Structure 1
Amino acid sequence: MNVLRILGISSAFRATISFVMNAPGAGGKKDVVKIEGKELSVEELNRIALISPKATINIIRDFVVVQKNNVVLPSYVEGVVRCTNSSCISNSSEPIKSKFSVIQSEEEGVSLHCLYCEHVISEEIAENLL
């Protein structure tokens, strides 16, 4: 469901959406989300990378895979994730969007570094999607 949240897809979306979890794949188990009639923009692919940095996105037309994209983790995101530091200026009543630099390491996975308060978010990225 995090993928739908990060793409801004709600119950008002009228096309068919299918989920498959723990499907067998060449690299082990995988989850599959099929969204009928929607091709993702580069920005949407980058946002998915925040919660699934090894994801592959397939574009299928007339039952044929016409394009495969590996997501690319962006170096910077704005207005996508809420800073978990309650004292951060981006959590105030000021009209300021959150801004994070994105860091990926082998040991810790994906982390976000708030550019306002320097707070680091690592484990709760999906829970704090805007």
Structure 2
Amino acid sequence: MRDIMNKSQLQVEAIHNGTVIDHIPAGQGIKILQLFGLVKNQEKITVGLNLPSQAQGAKDIIKVENVRLSAAQANQLALFAPDATVNLIEDFEVVEKLQLQLPERVEGVFSCPNSNCISHNEPVSSKFKVRAINGQVRFRCSYCEKSFHQDFMTF
């Protein structure tokens, strides 16, 4: 009789070429799919939500065939998953690991959560200063100057 409790199995299949975003905090995977518009590219996407993780308890993972995230895109990823890993895959092997750095500013990505902000009524692109406070990403609107936790940011 085989002891399946001692076997470690891949819960998400390997990809031939593309990008693997791993160690995403549980529940953030869907936001990342939206942020990068990954579902619009017509490539195969494998998403694992709330997978077991020794380091995090639970994590999300995204694997996208035939798509390579740039360093700038990886840095935007840090807005929701600062400790995520981004691996670029070729022929089933990791060929590059992108290091994430939280960007200082984000422009035209999010809407300001403050409904009274001028960015909702004027033809201007949203602009936020970004910083990490006690491990939490905060956004400060350049127009209304209000600060918001990452959970309040919408596309």
**In which range does the TM-score fall when normalised by the shorter chain?**
0.7 to 0.9
Deviation at 1:27, TM superposition (A): 2.2
Answer whether contact 2:75 2:102 (CA < 8 A) is retained. yes
CA RMSD, 1 decimal? 1.7
TM-score, scaled relative to structure 2: 0.73
Q: What do the CA deviations read for 1:73-124 (whole angstroms, capped 9, x no partner)?
A: 10111011111111111111x22011000010226x0000011111111042
Q: What do the CA deviations read for 1:14-69 (whole angstroms, capped 9, x no partner)?
A: 11000112334452433210010000122211221111111110111101011112
The question of 1:117 aligning with 2:144 is answered: yes
Greater Cα offset, 67-76 or 24-33 = 24-33
> Compared with structure 1, are the counterparts of its residues 34 and 70 closer, same or farther at alpha carbon in structure 2 (3 Å cutoff)?
same
Answer whether contact 1:54 1:70 (CA < 8 A) is retained. no
Residue in 2 that maps onto 1:44: 73
Map of 1:70-109 to 2, 5 A cutoff? Answer: 70-92=99-121, 94-106=122-134, 109=136
Structure 1: which 5+ residue stretches go unaligned?
Answer: none
Higher Rg: 2
**Count of paired positions:** 125
Higher relative contact order (CA 8 A, sep 6+): 2
Residue in 1 that maps onto 2:87: 58
User: What amino acid sits opposite 2:70 in the alignment?
Assistant: S
Structure 2: which 5+ residue stretches go unaligned?
Answer: 1-29
